[in-house]
Structure 1
Amino acid sequence: MNHAVRPQAVSAATPIAGPSEAKPWLGIACGLIATLIWGVQAVVSRQSVADGLTAADVTILRFSAAALVLLPWALWRMRPFPVGALGWRRALVLTLLAGAPYSLVLIGGAAFAPALHSSIITPGLIPIFTAGLAFLLFRERAGLARLAGLLLVVVGVAIFSWDTLLGAPARAGAWIGDLLFVLTAVMWSCFGLLARRWGANAIEVTIATCLLSLLLLPVVALVLPIRLAQVGLGALALQALYQGVLVGVAALFFYTRAVALLGAARTALFLPLVPVVTALAAALLLAEWPSPAEVVGMAVVITGMTIAFTARSPA
């Protein structure tokens, strides 16, 4: 789940009061909409490769479009502009972890691996790296049930990656994308832990990382290949609207709204649905069909994620 603020970090970084029981149906609808947006994101990223766009192109389109939407809110509410209560140092650190650099790595992975790999490897490994880092840095211990779920995720990712590890012709070169997705999981785990440690608000984090990423875009344009002028307007509009507006702004709004209505624990149960949405969308829109090993691995990962998200934290 790109920069956009990924779901795991949203729930960890958003200090929201207890769930509201007034409109559970609205919370469910918001959770499903966010799940749909995140699930199709990997397919849209993969489509950018087919359209001839580079990771730098998509990153530029994404943060430029998101900034246009978020700038009025930032001018109105963020003091000091554009970092708010985070402050410059913390906002810059979070931007390096979850802003333009994260997008470059994630979209870069889409050039090598099928769309479903992004939705399995990155979201699956984020809670594993987060738990490991939380123990090493803060001595936070996960309960036995959560550890069992995370172990199941590791097994599922291994099964899912079997064809890639064996060098199957249908997955030639996918290992490069898979390694990039592992890197994004590490980056996002660090981001989520720091955001939670600093008590960061999800909306303010999104605004700050988006606007500060604009400062990095000239560097991106200078050092990486750019093909914006060689691609049709339709392809450019798709990436700008989907990656920038839907993923960068709308998905965050719907997910945080679901957390407010249902609570963080229940809303997190929508996250294992993201790979299912990606698998269906990739098959229907890109004709990318998962292998039997990938289907089994996906099922194991989803089961592990569900166990991990529903497990009680130790006292």
Structure 2
Amino acid sequence: MTLTVSPEQRWAGILCGLAAAFIWGAFPVVTRLGLTRTPLDAYDITCIRYGVSGLILLPYLLRHGRRGLSWTTIGLMVVGIGAPYMLVVAQGLALAPVELFAVVTPGSMILLSILISARLFGTRLGARANAGTALIIGGVLLAGWHSFAGAQASPYAYLMFLLGGLLWAIYTLVSKWSGSDALHATAIVSVCSMVLYLPVYLANRGLRILQAPLWDIGIQVVYQGLLVSTVALFFYSRSVQLLGASLGSTFAALVPGTAMVLAALLLGERADNTAIAGLLVVTAGMLLTLLPQRPRPLPGAIGQPTPRPPGPTP
């Protein structure tokens, strides 16, 4: 049976997808703003993100539990997009402009998800997805060349963003094959990161974070703890519900461009032609890999579909 979507529902789905892309695209901008223009550092922002989101989602997780997920699966999900991921990409954002993150981390996440899936499950993609993969590789390499050639970015930051893409890919794969929905996966990551990270943070730093201006803390509380962890997820899930998973997932391709535009508006970071070229190449590659397609398993391999992120959770 074909699901009929009214024009009003379609527009609502599009607006929800755009809202999710905007919030997620603002992640590197708000994070870099906190790292470079306030007394907060990567450890403080990580504390805020998972302290707040963990408290918000704790009642949900207590009500629904693990849902049969193994501790190994939970551990990989937490490492993939929890406190370790946040610390890694924040180290990069403290040293490099948003444009480098916008190209390298989302692009390498999709690229590595495809490569790991092909290695573990024998998935073979069609010509369009292969072309998209080639474009992503080209864009990420272009950004790397731009970084190592002595532009504004740091080679160390480039490596941190690549590592962030790898961690994000691990989360994407594990959450996809665990069968966990986006909200449940987010609750697990947020609450477990809170439980594991906050005691270590408080033991080493105490409450010194409260010495920062209340406005600076408040921005990170609202964005990191509320918007990116829960509100954006609601918008994304609603978009997928109204438009379907295939079309809804394509909004992920808007995240890099959104990040670069917001960085120019809010941080004054003007991307040069090389960075813009890398962004366009990676975005085109993301669109090609995210659009609907039929993956073909290799002969004798376990046929599994190429993973699609449950949402471009940064």
Following the alignment from structure 2 to structure 1, what is the Cα–Cα distance between the partners of residues 159 and 206? Answer: 21
1:233 is displaced (CA, Å) by 0.7
8 Å CA contact 1:20, 1:260 repeated in 2: no
Following the alignment from structure 1 to structure 2, what is the Cα–Cα distance between the partners of residues 154 and 231? Answer: 40
TM norm structure 1: 0.86
Distance 1:185-1:227 versus aligned 2 partners, 3 A rule: farther
Equivalence for 1:291: 272
Matched ranges for 1:260-271 at <5 A:
260-271=241-252
Equivalence for 2:191: 211
User: 2:261 aligned to 264, 271, 280, which one?
Assistant: 280
Equivalence for 1:8: none
8 Å CA contact 1:145, 1:308 repeated in 2: yes
Identity of aligned pairs, percent? 34
1:160 is displaced (CA, Å) by 2.8
8 Å CA contact 1:122, 1:184 repeated in 2: yes
8 Å CA contact 1:106, 1:181 repeated in 2: yes
Following superposition, which runs of at least 4 residues in structure 1 exceed 4 angstroms of deviation? 221-227
Distance 1:143-1:242 versus aligned 2 partners, 3 A rule: same
Task: Please give the per-residue CA displacement for 1:225-281, whole angstroms capped at 9, x wherever unaligned.
Answer: 985133111111111110110001111111111111111111122122112211111
Task: Please give the per-residue CA displacement for 1:107-131, whole angstroms capped at 9, x wherever unaligned.
Answer: 1211111112222211111111011
Stretches of structure 1 lacking an aligned partner (at least 5 in a row): 1-17
1:116 aligns to what SS in structure 2?
helix
Following the alignment from structure 2 to structure 1, what is the Cα–Cα distance between the partners of residues 28 and 70? Answer: 32
Equivalence for 2:11: 25
Task: Please give the per-residue CA displacement for 1:37-75, whole angstroms capped at 9, x wherever unaligned.
Answer: 011111001011121211110011011111232223333
Equivalence for 1:43: 29
Following the alignment from structure 1 to structure 2, what is the Cα–Cα distance between the partners of residues 235 and 139? Answer: 47
Single out whichever of 177-186 and 220-229 deviates more from structure 2.
220-229
Query: 1:195 is aligned with what amino acid?
Result: S
2:123 aligns to what SS in structure 1?
coil
Equivalence for 1:253: 234
Equivalence for 1:13: none
Following the alignment from structure 1 to structure 2, what is the Cα–Cα distance between the partners of residues 257 and 28? Answer: 10
1:232 equivalenced with 2:218 (yes/no): no
Query: 1:186 is aligned with what amino acid?
Result: L
Following the alignment from structure 2 to structure 1, what is the Cα–Cα distance between the partners of residues 28 and 218? Answer: 16
Equivalence for 2:125: 142
User: 1:193 aligned to 164, 173, 178, which one?
Assistant: 173
8 Å CA contact 1:53, 1:227 repeated in 2: no
Equivalence for 2:59: 72
Following the alignment from structure 1 to structure 2, what is the Cα–Cα distance between the partners of residues 265 and 97? Answer: 23
1:161 aligns to what SS in structure 2?
helix
Give the root-mean-square deviation of aligned CA atoms. 2.1
Distance 1:110-1:224 versus aligned 2 partners, 3 A rule: farther
TM norm structure 2: 0.87
Following the alignment from structure 1 to structure 2, what is the Cα–Cα distance between the partners of residues 20 and 227? Answer: 55
1:19 is displaced (CA, Å) by 6.6
2:216 aligns to what SS in structure 1?
helix
2:39 aligns to what SS in structure 1?
coil
